[in-house]
A and B are shown apart, each in its own frame.
Chain A
Protein backbone atom coordinates (compact mmCIF):
# COMPACT_ATOMS: atom_id res chain seq x y z
CA UNK A 1 0.00 0.00 0.00
CA UNK A 2 2.70 2.46 1.01
CA UNK A 3 4.28 2.80 -2.44
CA UNK A 4 1.03 4.18 -3.85
CA UNK A 5 0.80 7.04 -1.38
CA UNK A 6 2.62 10.32 -1.45
CA UNK A 7 3.45 12.93 1.10
CA UNK A 8 2.80 13.31 4.78
CA UNK A 9 -0.03 14.49 6.93
CA UNK A 10 0.31 16.30 10.22
CA UNK A 11 -2.76 16.53 12.41
CA UNK A 12 -0.83 16.74 15.68
CA UNK A 13 -1.68 20.38 16.25
CA UNK A 14 -4.87 20.52 14.24
CA UNK A 15 -7.96 21.49 16.19
CA UNK A 16 -10.54 18.96 15.03
CA UNK A 17 -14.07 18.74 16.38
CA UNK A 18 -15.99 15.49 16.13
CA UNK A 19 -19.76 15.90 16.40
CA UNK A 20 -21.25 12.44 16.47
CA UNK A 21 -23.74 10.34 18.47
CA UNK A 22 -22.20 8.29 21.24
CA UNK A 23 -22.51 5.06 19.24
CA UNK A 24 -20.47 6.14 16.26
CA UNK A 25 -17.87 8.22 18.06
CA UNK A 26 -15.49 5.38 18.90
CA UNK A 27 -15.00 4.41 15.27
CA UNK A 28 -14.53 7.98 14.10
CA UNK A 29 -12.15 8.85 16.93
CA UNK A 30 -10.03 5.75 16.35
CA UNK A 31 -9.62 6.52 12.66
CA UNK A 32 -8.76 10.16 13.28
CA UNK A 33 -6.30 9.24 16.03
CA UNK A 34 -4.69 6.86 13.55
CA UNK A 35 -4.27 9.81 11.21
CA UNK A 36 -2.38 11.59 13.97
CA UNK A 37 -5.09 13.75 15.56
CA UNK A 38 -4.02 14.40 19.15
CA UNK A 39 -6.51 16.74 20.77
CA UNK A 40 -10.01 16.24 19.42
CA UNK A 41 -12.95 18.27 20.63
CA UNK A 42 -15.63 15.65 21.10
CA UNK A 43 -19.33 16.38 21.39
CA UNK A 44 -22.57 14.53 20.90
CA UNK A 45 -25.05 17.33 20.36
CA UNK A 46 -25.29 20.59 18.48
CA UNK A 47 -25.54 22.80 21.57
CA UNK A 48 -22.21 21.57 22.90
CA UNK A 49 -20.70 21.85 19.42
CA UNK A 50 -21.71 25.49 19.20
CA UNK A 51 -20.28 26.08 22.66
CA UNK A 52 -16.93 24.66 21.53
CA UNK A 53 -17.04 26.79 18.39
CA UNK A 54 -17.49 29.87 20.55
CA UNK A 55 -14.42 29.04 22.63
CA UNK A 56 -11.88 27.50 20.25
CA UNK A 57 -10.53 28.22 16.79
CA UNK A 58 -11.05 25.02 14.84
CA UNK A 59 -9.33 23.67 11.73
CA UNK A 60 -11.83 20.97 10.77
CA UNK A 61 -15.24 19.70 11.84
CA UNK A 62 -16.46 16.17 11.18
CA UNK A 63 -20.21 16.07 11.71
CA UNK A 64 -22.39 12.98 11.69
CA UNK A 65 -25.50 13.54 9.61
CA UNK A 66 -27.49 11.02 11.61
CA UNK A 67 -27.89 13.19 14.71
CA UNK A 68 -31.57 13.13 15.70
CA UNK A 69 -33.86 15.53 13.89
CA UNK A 70 -31.23 16.61 11.38
CA UNK A 71 -29.40 18.46 14.16
CA UNK A 72 -26.06 18.08 12.41
CA UNK A 73 -27.25 19.94 9.33
CA UNK A 74 -28.90 22.63 11.45
CA UNK A 75 -25.69 23.07 13.42
CA UNK A 76 -23.66 23.63 10.24
CA UNK A 77 -26.19 26.12 8.87
CA UNK A 78 -26.25 27.96 12.21
CA UNK A 79 -22.45 28.06 12.40
CA UNK A 80 -22.17 29.40 8.85
CA UNK A 81 -24.59 32.22 9.69
CA UNK A 82 -23.00 33.03 13.02
CA UNK A 83 -20.48 35.76 13.72
CA UNK A 84 -17.93 33.26 15.05
CA UNK A 85 -14.81 34.14 13.10
CA UNK A 86 -12.87 32.18 11.96
CA UNK A 87 -15.00 29.13 12.79
CA UNK A 88 -17.87 30.06 10.52
CA UNK A 89 -15.48 29.43 7.62
CA UNK A 90 -14.06 26.19 9.02
CA UNK A 91 -14.16 23.17 6.67
CA UNK A 92 -17.02 20.84 7.58
CA UNK A 93 -17.35 17.27 6.44
CA UNK A 94 -20.64 15.46 6.93
CA UNK A 95 -20.63 11.70 7.44
CA UNK A 96 -23.83 9.96 6.45
CA UNK A 97 -24.83 6.29 6.40
CA UNK A 98 -27.97 6.32 4.28
CA UNK A 99 -27.47 8.84 1.50
CA UNK A 100 -30.66 9.49 -0.49
CA UNK A 101 -30.59 12.47 -2.82
CA UNK A 102 -32.56 14.70 -0.47
CA UNK A 103 -30.02 14.15 2.32
CA UNK A 104 -27.14 14.99 0.01
CA UNK A 105 -28.92 18.16 -1.08
CA UNK A 106 -29.54 19.02 2.55
CA UNK A 107 -25.86 18.55 3.34
CA UNK A 108 -24.85 20.71 0.39
CA UNK A 109 -27.33 23.45 1.24
CA UNK A 110 -26.47 23.67 4.92
CA UNK A 111 -22.98 24.80 3.96
CA UNK A 112 -20.90 21.67 4.41
CA UNK A 113 -17.79 21.24 2.27
CA UNK A 114 -18.17 17.54 1.66
CA UNK A 115 -20.36 14.54 2.35
CA UNK A 116 -18.71 11.20 2.97
CA UNK A 117 -20.76 8.02 2.95
CA UNK A 118 -20.44 5.60 5.83
CA UNK A 119 -19.22 3.09 6.77
CA UNK A 120 -16.10 5.13 7.22
CA UNK A 121 -13.41 4.05 4.83
CA UNK A 122 -10.14 5.36 6.31
CA UNK A 123 -8.50 5.74 2.93
CA UNK A 124 -11.43 7.67 1.49
CA UNK A 125 -11.70 9.83 4.59
CA UNK A 126 -8.00 10.68 4.40
CA UNK A 127 -8.37 11.59 0.73
CA UNK A 128 -11.25 13.89 1.53
CA UNK A 129 -9.40 15.60 4.36
CA UNK A 130 -6.46 16.24 2.05
CA UNK A 131 -8.80 17.46 -0.63
CA UNK A 132 -10.44 19.96 1.72
CA UNK A 133 -7.00 21.10 2.87
CA UNK A 134 -6.12 21.92 -0.74
CA UNK A 135 -9.39 23.34 -1.98
CA UNK A 136 -9.65 26.95 -2.97
CA UNK A 137 -13.40 27.36 -3.31
CA UNK A 138 -14.60 30.81 -2.33
CA UNK A 139 -17.02 31.23 0.52
CA UNK A 140 -20.41 32.52 -0.58
CA UNK A 141 -22.96 34.44 1.43
CA UNK A 142 -26.47 34.73 0.03
CA UNK A 143 -29.87 35.36 1.57
CA UNK A 144 -30.63 31.64 1.56
CA UNK A 145 -27.16 30.08 1.63
CA UNK A 146 -23.88 30.59 3.43
CA UNK A 147 -20.96 28.26 2.79
CA UNK A 148 -18.42 27.14 0.22
CA UNK A 149 -19.34 27.77 -3.41
CA UNK A 150 -21.57 24.87 -4.42
CA UNK A 151 -20.62 25.13 -8.09
CA UNK A 152 -17.47 23.05 -7.98
CA UNK A 153 -18.08 20.05 -10.21
CA UNK A 154 -15.49 21.26 -12.74
CA UNK A 155 -12.75 20.87 -10.18
CA UNK A 156 -12.94 17.10 -10.40
CA UNK A 157 -12.86 14.73 -7.50
CA UNK A 158 -9.91 14.03 -5.24
CA UNK A 159 -7.34 11.97 -7.08
CA UNK A 160 -7.32 14.26 -10.07
CA UNK A 161 -9.14 14.54 -13.37
CA UNK A 162 -10.15 11.36 -15.09
CA UNK A 163 -11.24 9.48 -12.02
CA UNK A 164 -14.68 10.96 -11.45
CA UNK A 165 -18.08 9.42 -11.58
CA UNK A 166 -19.51 12.11 -13.83
CA UNK A 167 -18.38 12.85 -17.34
CA UNK A 168 -18.13 16.53 -16.45
CA UNK A 169 -15.66 15.75 -13.67
CA UNK A 170 -13.06 14.83 -16.22
CA UNK A 171 -12.89 18.18 -17.91
CA UNK A 172 -11.63 20.32 -15.09
CA UNK A 173 -8.42 20.67 -13.21
CA UNK A 174 -7.98 19.76 -9.59
CA UNK A 175 -5.41 20.47 -6.95
CA UNK A 176 -2.33 18.30 -7.28
CA UNK A 177 -3.33 14.86 -6.02
CA UNK A 178 -1.50 13.55 -3.00
CA UNK A 179 -2.75 10.05 -3.66
CA UNK A 180 -2.25 8.40 -7.01
CA UNK A 181 -5.27 8.70 -9.25
CA UNK A 182 -5.31 4.99 -10.06
CA UNK A 183 -5.79 4.22 -6.39
CA UNK A 184 -8.75 6.52 -5.97
CA UNK A 185 -11.75 4.72 -4.59
CA UNK A 186 -14.19 6.88 -6.49
Chain B
Protein backbone atom coordinates (compact mmCIF):
# COMPACT_ATOMS: atom_id res chain seq x y z
CA UNK B 1 0.00 0.00 0.00
CA UNK B 2 1.38 3.37 -1.00
CA UNK B 3 1.30 6.10 1.61
CA UNK B 4 1.85 9.67 0.50
CA UNK B 5 2.52 12.20 3.24
CA UNK B 6 2.27 15.90 2.53
CA UNK B 7 2.62 19.03 4.59
CA UNK B 8 0.43 21.57 2.85
CA UNK B 9 0.47 25.20 3.87
CA UNK B 10 -2.04 25.98 6.62
CA UNK B 11 -3.90 28.77 4.86
CA UNK B 12 -6.19 29.28 7.83
CA UNK B 13 -3.22 30.16 10.03
CA UNK B 14 -2.08 32.79 7.54
CA UNK B 15 -5.55 34.32 7.57
CA UNK B 16 -6.51 34.34 11.23
CA UNK B 17 -3.21 35.56 12.65
CA UNK B 18 -2.98 38.61 10.42
CA UNK B 19 -2.70 41.90 12.34
CA UNK B 20 -6.02 43.53 13.10
CA UNK B 21 -9.23 41.65 13.64
CA UNK B 22 -10.69 41.57 17.12
CA UNK B 23 -9.86 40.21 20.53
CA UNK B 24 -11.23 36.80 21.24
CA UNK B 25 -13.38 38.18 24.03
CA UNK B 26 -14.87 40.67 21.59
CA UNK B 27 -15.39 37.91 19.02
CA UNK B 28 -17.33 35.87 21.56
CA UNK B 29 -19.37 38.86 22.70
CA UNK B 30 -20.23 39.71 19.09
CA UNK B 31 -21.18 36.12 18.33
CA UNK B 32 -23.48 36.05 21.34
CA UNK B 33 -25.01 39.37 20.32
CA UNK B 34 -25.66 37.95 16.85
CA UNK B 35 -27.42 34.97 18.38
CA UNK B 36 -29.56 37.21 20.55
CA UNK B 37 -30.81 38.98 17.44
CA UNK B 38 -32.28 35.75 16.11
CA UNK B 39 -33.54 34.38 19.43
CA UNK B 40 -37.21 35.11 18.75
CA UNK B 41 -37.20 33.72 15.21
CA UNK B 42 -35.25 30.66 16.33
CA UNK B 43 -37.67 29.89 19.15
CA UNK B 44 -40.54 30.18 16.65
CA UNK B 45 -38.83 27.62 14.45
CA UNK B 46 -38.27 25.44 17.50
CA UNK B 47 -41.97 25.50 18.35
CA UNK B 48 -42.84 24.54 14.78
CA UNK B 49 -40.41 21.64 14.84
CA UNK B 50 -41.85 20.40 18.12
CA UNK B 51 -45.37 20.51 16.68
CA UNK B 52 -44.22 18.57 13.64
CA UNK B 53 -42.57 15.98 15.86
CA UNK B 54 -45.74 15.55 17.90
CA UNK B 55 -47.93 15.29 14.81
CA UNK B 56 -45.72 12.79 13.04
CA UNK B 57 -45.20 10.87 16.28
CA UNK B 58 -48.94 10.48 16.82
CA UNK B 59 -49.36 9.21 13.24
CA UNK B 60 -46.71 6.59 13.89
CA UNK B 61 -48.37 4.97 16.87
CA UNK B 62 -48.91 1.58 15.22
CA UNK B 63 -45.80 1.50 13.10
CA UNK B 64 -43.24 3.71 11.46
CA UNK B 65 -41.27 2.99 8.32
CA UNK B 66 -37.77 4.15 7.48
CA UNK B 67 -39.03 7.43 6.02
CA UNK B 68 -41.01 8.36 9.13
CA UNK B 69 -38.05 7.47 11.34
CA UNK B 70 -35.74 9.51 9.14
CA UNK B 71 -38.06 12.52 9.26
CA UNK B 72 -38.52 12.32 13.02
CA UNK B 73 -34.75 12.03 13.40
CA UNK B 74 -34.17 15.10 11.24
CA UNK B 75 -36.74 17.12 13.19
CA UNK B 76 -35.26 16.07 16.52
CA UNK B 77 -31.81 16.94 15.26
CA UNK B 78 -33.02 20.45 14.46
CA UNK B 79 -34.35 20.75 18.00
CA UNK B 80 -30.88 19.86 19.31
CA UNK B 81 -29.39 22.64 17.17
CA UNK B 82 -31.63 25.34 18.60
CA UNK B 83 -32.79 24.40 22.11
CA UNK B 84 -29.46 24.38 23.91
CA UNK B 85 -28.44 27.67 22.34
CA UNK B 86 -31.43 29.54 23.66
CA UNK B 87 -31.77 28.47 27.27
CA UNK B 88 -33.53 25.13 26.86
CA UNK B 89 -30.72 22.64 27.53
CA UNK B 90 -32.94 19.85 28.86
CA UNK B 91 -35.15 20.08 25.79
CA UNK B 92 -32.05 19.69 23.64
CA UNK B 93 -30.95 16.69 25.70
CA UNK B 94 -34.38 15.08 25.33
CA UNK B 95 -34.21 15.63 21.57
CA UNK B 96 -30.75 14.06 21.59
CA UNK B 97 -32.19 11.05 23.41
CA UNK B 98 -34.96 10.78 20.81
CA UNK B 99 -32.36 10.90 18.03
CA UNK B 100 -30.42 8.15 19.76
CA UNK B 101 -33.59 6.08 20.17
CA UNK B 102 -34.60 6.53 16.54
CA UNK B 103 -31.09 5.67 15.41
CA UNK B 104 -31.26 2.42 17.38
CA UNK B 105 -34.76 1.57 16.16
CA UNK B 106 -33.87 2.40 12.57
CA UNK B 107 -30.68 0.38 12.54
CA UNK B 108 -32.52 -2.67 13.90
CA UNK B 109 -35.60 -2.04 11.74
CA UNK B 110 -37.92 -2.27 14.69
CA UNK B 111 -40.48 0.11 16.18
CA UNK B 112 -41.16 0.71 19.85
CA UNK B 113 -44.06 3.10 20.27
CA UNK B 114 -43.99 3.28 24.09
CA UNK B 115 -40.35 4.36 24.04
CA UNK B 116 -41.08 6.98 21.38
CA UNK B 117 -44.26 8.10 23.11
CA UNK B 118 -42.52 8.77 26.39
CA UNK B 119 -40.01 10.91 24.52
CA UNK B 120 -42.82 12.89 22.92
CA UNK B 121 -44.29 13.50 26.36
CA UNK B 122 -40.89 14.49 27.67
CA UNK B 123 -40.43 17.03 24.89
CA UNK B 124 -43.81 18.56 25.71
CA UNK B 125 -42.87 18.94 29.38
CA UNK B 126 -39.41 20.33 28.69
CA UNK B 127 -40.57 22.79 26.04
CA UNK B 128 -42.07 24.91 28.80
CA UNK B 129 -39.37 24.87 31.48
CA UNK B 130 -41.04 27.52 33.65
CA UNK B 131 -43.73 25.03 34.58
CA UNK B 132 -41.29 22.37 35.77
CA UNK B 133 -38.56 22.76 38.41
CA UNK B 134 -34.99 22.13 37.29
CA UNK B 135 -34.64 18.93 39.32
CA UNK B 136 -37.73 17.50 37.72
CA UNK B 137 -36.51 18.48 34.26
CA UNK B 138 -33.23 16.72 34.87
CA UNK B 139 -35.11 13.64 36.09
CA UNK B 140 -37.14 13.61 32.90
CA UNK B 141 -33.97 13.70 30.81
CA UNK B 142 -32.39 10.93 32.85
CA UNK B 143 -35.54 8.83 32.52
CA UNK B 144 -35.53 9.27 28.75
CA UNK B 145 -31.87 8.33 28.60
CA UNK B 146 -32.62 5.12 30.50
CA UNK B 147 -35.52 4.27 28.20
CA UNK B 148 -33.23 4.73 25.25
CA UNK B 149 -30.46 2.59 26.74
CA UNK B 150 -32.90 -0.31 27.05
CA UNK B 151 -33.05 -0.55 23.27
CA UNK B 152 -29.93 -2.43 22.21
CA UNK B 153 -27.90 -1.07 19.33
Query: Could you tell me which A residues sit within 8 Å of B by CB distance?
Result: 1-2, 5-15, 23-24, 26-27, 30-36, 57-60, 66, 68, 86, 89-91, 97-98, 100, 118-120, 122-123, 126, 129-130, 132-136, 138-143, 149, 178-179
Contact = CB atoms under 8 A, between A and B. Distances in A.
A128 B81 CA distance: 18
Given A8-B23, A12-B21, A59-B15, A122 B32 contact: yes
A9 B83 CA distance: 28
A13 B31 contact: no
A60 B14 CA distance: 11
B131 interface: no
Contacts of A143: 1-2
Interface string B91-118: 0100010011001000000000000000
Contact of A90 (B11, B34, B76, B92): B11
Contacts of B85: 27, 119-120
Contacts of B32: 34, 122
The 8 closest A-B pairs by CB, nearest first: A10-B21, A34-B31, A2-B25, A30-B34, A119-B84, A34-B30, A98-B99, A89-B8
Contacts of B13: 133-134
Interface stretch (B37-45, B53-61, B121-129, B134-142): B37-45
A31 B16 contact: no
